[in-house]
Structure formats: C-alpha cells, structure tokens
Amino acid sequence: MKIYIEKDYNALSKRAADIIASFLKQKPTTILGLPTGSTPQKMYGMLAEKCEKREITFKRVKTFNLDEYSGLSAEDQKSYHFFMKKNLFSKTDIDIKNTFFPNDFKPDYQKYDKKIKESGGIDLQVLGIGRDGHIGFNEPGSKFSSKTRKIYLAKTTVEDNSRFFESKKDVPRKAVTMGISTIMGAKKIILLASGEKKSEAIFNTIFGPVSTKVPASILQRHKNVIVILDKESAKKFKIK
Ligand code: PGA
C-alpha cells in the first residue's frame, strides 16, 4: 500500500483528482469504478474542472458505480444515479451510455460483474470507507468472495447516511453493491478517507488483521492500492 497523508480535505481531493487525471491521460479508454458520498465530492468537482479546461476527456471512459439504494429511481435526488449526474456526468463530456450502476441489472446482479469483465475489467477503482470499515456497501461480515448482490445496510450506515434524508426512517434499508471480489478484481485501487470519524476504520484497515469484521482490511492483500488520507483520518497513526 502506498499511503499519502494530506493536510486537509482539499489537498486529499487534489491528490486523488491528479492521480485519476494522469491515469486518464495515459489511457483515454480507462474503465473507472466510482464511489459516491461526501468524501469524493470535491474530487469530482476538480475532475469536472479539468475536463472543462480540456486537460482531460471522459469521451471514451466507462464508469461502473460501486452501489445504489434499492427502491429509488434514477431520477430520485437521493439516488446515487442522481449524485453522479449532478457531481460528474453532467459536468463532463462522458457519454451517459457508458455509465453503469449495479441495480440496473435487476434481477440478476451478477450480470454486473459479467459486464465489468466484458468491458476489460476495472482499471482504477476509487473507494470511500464507512465508519464500520465497509467498502461499497459491503458491510462487516461480507464474504471476501462476494460478487455484486443485494444487501441490508448496517445500523451505523443507516445512521450515517440519514444526513442526506429527511429522517432516519426515510433511508432505504437495502442496496445493491459490487461484491468484495468484484472490487478486488480492479487493477488499481484508490481508497479515500477524510475526518476523525474514519480514523478507527482506517487504522484497522491498514494495521489490523485481515478480517471480514473490517471489510476494507482485505485491501492489504491487493497489489496496487493507494490510500489518500487527511490528517484527521490518520490520527491514530504514530508519526514522528
Ligand atoms: P462518505 O461515505 O464519503 O459519505 O463518508 C463513505 C462510505 O460510506 O463508503
């Protein structure tokens, strides 16, 4: 694992956007795996800016999102389809036909894994992390061999994500997520974390045992992982 500890959220976002941009310059047909949530939001803004300045293009890029809530339509403002359109797709030259979400493969979600494979596999997978160590919506207990599937959200995830909804009861309890083996199939992975509330999960991910109790800990077994943190999320590291 290569680990960057940046001074703040802005620097973390810039580091991630710069890495992705140089990747896209080298391979204009990159297959990207993408997350949603608060953490990647600024990174997306920076990528959109680079595209507007014609430093990069998404014309031949394909994207596969990590997850989506069950029961929300693509037009629902709380859906991850909507999030991606708002934060990245509508602000770049990407062809919307090249953007994919796992729940659109209902009822056979493993067709998503097949689609990823047929496209050549994910070149670069970007991940956030949950307070409980989840990646995508692979909550603690998820098998490392898991593929794309429907899951129940953990209690902490429902609590954390309730900030995007009117109230906790409005948060969908089910979602469709890429599996852990789907994620591990990516050629390169970037894990992002910001803020003190992620510090325990990050510490366990990097220094703890590889365990399904902390799904992200499996990343220790991947050959090509970059972790980009801000100081708060790296708070538990003892740095001299
Ligand atoms: P966040 O979510 O970026 O909104 O903190 C990350 C995650 O739950 O994977």
pLDDT, block means (10 residues), the chain with 240 residues = 97 98 98 98 98 98 98 96 98 98 96 98 98 98 98 96 94 97 98 98 98 98 98 87
Q: How far is CA 70 from the centre of its chain?
A: 17
Q: Is 159 a catalytic residue?
A: no
Q: Choosing from 67, 68, 123, 230, which is the catalytic residue?
A: 67
Count of Cβ atoms closer than 10 Å to residue 100 Cβ: 18
**Alpha-carbon distance values, 144 to 55, 150, 177, 216, 218 (Å):** 38, 15, 13, 10, 7
Interatomic CA distance for residues 182 and 115, integer angstroms: 11
Quick one: pLDDT at residue 238? 77
Cα 220 to Cα 121, 141, 208, distances in angstroms: 20, 17, 9
Query: pLDDT value at position 240?
Result: 58
Reply yes or no on whether 160 is catalytic. no
Q: Does residue 136 line the site of ligand 1, with CB under 6 A?
A: no
| pLDDT given for residue 239 in this prediction | 67
User: 81 catalytic, yes or no?
Assistant: no
Distance CA 100, CA 47 (A): 19
